[in-house]
């Protein structure tokens, strides 16, 4: 079945901080491919880093690229070999394209594929366009009960679910989350859905800690200011003692701490908050090199875990949690823009006043 598209307007990053909304070609649909009419796309920190720097870290792009990777839409065309989705299906796109053949892929660690490609980065066009073509393997069906705007948050929720997998969230645990941005909030939402009994939330923004407390956290607070001459570990220990006391918990510490801000001070705080034998998860990126309390790992015998992207089943779990009502994403979506106003949407994210910004792909 073929589908003719009259236009394919897209948000194209020409160079750092320079966007053009223009028509881009739609690749042909091969025998294993699917064309999706995109409806909504969430904006995340990775998009913003690429927008600001025209790359990530030492990987700088040389050619324009369509931004975006957190998208949902409707299947409008399928290749002759495609059996798992049909025209008319509502789907989310898994935007990190793994090879499915390397050692890591074969053992389920598709997030660590040796040759993975990411939508919206380097030579792979992103999903901030009206249409997108990919292989059917990277599509997951979305029920009618999940709105398009919520669908724009499925991918970061899948990332939070991978963190929960890595940290082994479970009933009765205590959790401290450092950073109440979109990822931190989604981590708390997953923790609550998984039965974690006490959630502590910290951020430098009063607005964000109040938001976290209104929905998921049992205790929230603005992180205390560290004086210029104050030892970072002494600051972290004092932060922990005060917070645990105020939260009505034993000062011994929490079962799990997740650092979701990338701030060096929060890394020290997270390590301090975890009790001996507990688990520390690094989810925030921040600077490439940070001072880290390595002796604490040994003395407290901590499990220190990194987590990146998502693995097999995370999208399905995310969609199931939304559809069942166990996770409500609607309060997180604080700004919605048409595709034609993509620049304004990116600027909105840069201001940091909104939590989750979603762009509607067909509104051009």
pLDDT number for residue 2: 65
Cite the beta strand spans of the chain per DSSP E. 9-15, 18-23, 33-42, 55-56, 59-60, 65-66, 70-78, 90-93, 96-97, 117-118, 131-135, 139-141, 174-178, 198-203, 219-222, 254-259, 274-282, 303-306, 333-338, 356-360
Average pLDDT, the chain: 96
Pairing between strand 198-203 and 174-178?
parallel
Report how far apart the first and last C-alpha atoms of the chain are (Å, whole number).
26
pLDDT tier at 262 (50, 70, 90 boundaries)?
very high
Question: How far, in Å, are 1, 26, 88, 130, 364 from residue 7 at the CA level?
Answer: 19, 9, 19, 8, 10
**pLDDT recorded at residue 358:** 98
Q: In the structure, what pLDDT confidence band is assigned to residue 285 with cuts at 50, 70 and 90? A: confident
Residue range 91-127, pLDDT digits in tens: 999 999 999 999 999 999 999 999 999 999 998 999 9
Rounded to the nearest 10 degrees, what angle do helices 45-53 and 342-351 cross at?
110
Spatial contact of 73 and 361, defined as CB atoms under 8 Å apart? yes
Q: What are the φ/ψ torsions at residue 141 (nearest 5 degrees)?
A: -70, 145
Q: How far is CA 208 from CA 13, 178, 196, in A?
A: 29, 11, 21
What lies within 8 Å, CB to CB, of 82 at 6+ separation is 31, 32, 33, 34, 136
Gyration radius from the chain CA atoms: 21
Residue given tokens 């236009």 in the structure block: 7
Looking at residue 288, what DSSP letter applies?
Answer: S
Alpha carbon distance 216, 200 (integer Å):
9
| Residue 52 backbone zone (phi > 0: left; psi -120 to 50: alpha; other: beta) | alpha
Residue 51's SS3 state is: helix
Residues 68/115, Cβ–Cβ less than 8 Å: no
Q: Which band of pLDDT confidence, cut at 50, 70 and 90, is reported for residue 288?
A: confident
Write down the pLDDT at residue 157: 98
> Averaged over 260-275, what is the pLDDT?
97
Three-state DSSP at 318 gives helix
SS3 1: coil
Residues 42 and 358: beta-carbon distance below 8 Å = yes
Pick the more confident residue, 174 or 55. 174
Flag whether pLDDT at 251 surpasses 90. yes
């Amino acid at each position: 079945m073929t589908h003719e598209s009259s236009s394919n307007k897209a948000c194209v990053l020409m160079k750092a901080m320079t966007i053009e909304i223009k028509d881009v070609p739609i690749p042909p649909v091969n025998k294993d491919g699917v064309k999706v009419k995109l409806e909504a796309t969430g904006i995340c920190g990775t998009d913003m880093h690429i927008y600001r720097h025209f790359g990530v870290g030492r990987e700088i792009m040389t050619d324009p690229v369509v931004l975006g990777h957190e998208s949902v839409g409707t299947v409008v065309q399928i290749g002759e070999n495609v059996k798992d989705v049909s025209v008319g299906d509502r789907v989310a796109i898994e935007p990190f394209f793994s090879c499915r053949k390397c050692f890591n892929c074969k053992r389920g660690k598709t997030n660590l594929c040796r040759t993975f490609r990411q939508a919206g980065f380097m030579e792979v066009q992103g999903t901030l366009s009206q249409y997108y073509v990919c292989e059917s393997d990277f599509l997951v069906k979305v029920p009618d009960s999940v709105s398009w705007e919520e669908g724009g948050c499925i991918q970061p929720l899948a990332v939070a679910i991978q963190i929960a997998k890595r940290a082994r969230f479970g009933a009765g645990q205590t959790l401290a989350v450092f950073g109440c941005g979109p990822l931190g909030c989604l981590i708390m939402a997953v923790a609550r859905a998984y039965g974690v009994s006490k959630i502590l939330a910290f951020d430098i923004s009063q607005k964000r800690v109040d938001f976290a407390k209104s929905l998921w956290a049992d205790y929230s607070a603005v992180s205390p200011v560290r004086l210029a001459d104050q030892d970072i570990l002494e600051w972290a220990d004092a932060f922990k003692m005060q917070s645990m006391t105020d939260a009505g918990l034993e000062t011994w510490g929490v079962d799990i701490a997740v650092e979701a801000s990338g701030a060096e001070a929060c890394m020290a705080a997270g390590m301090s908050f975890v009790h001996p034998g507990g688990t520390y998860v690094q989810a925030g990126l921040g600077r490439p090199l940070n001072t880290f309390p390595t002796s604490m790992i040994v003395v407290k015998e901590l499990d220190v875990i990194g987590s990146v992207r998502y693995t097999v089943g995370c999208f399905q779990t995310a969609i199931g949690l939304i559809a069942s009502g166990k996770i409500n994403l609607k309060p997180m979506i604080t700004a919605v823009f048409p595709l034609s106003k993509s620049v304004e949407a990116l600027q909105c994210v840069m201001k940091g006043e909104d939590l989750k910004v979603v762009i509607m792909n067909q509104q051009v």
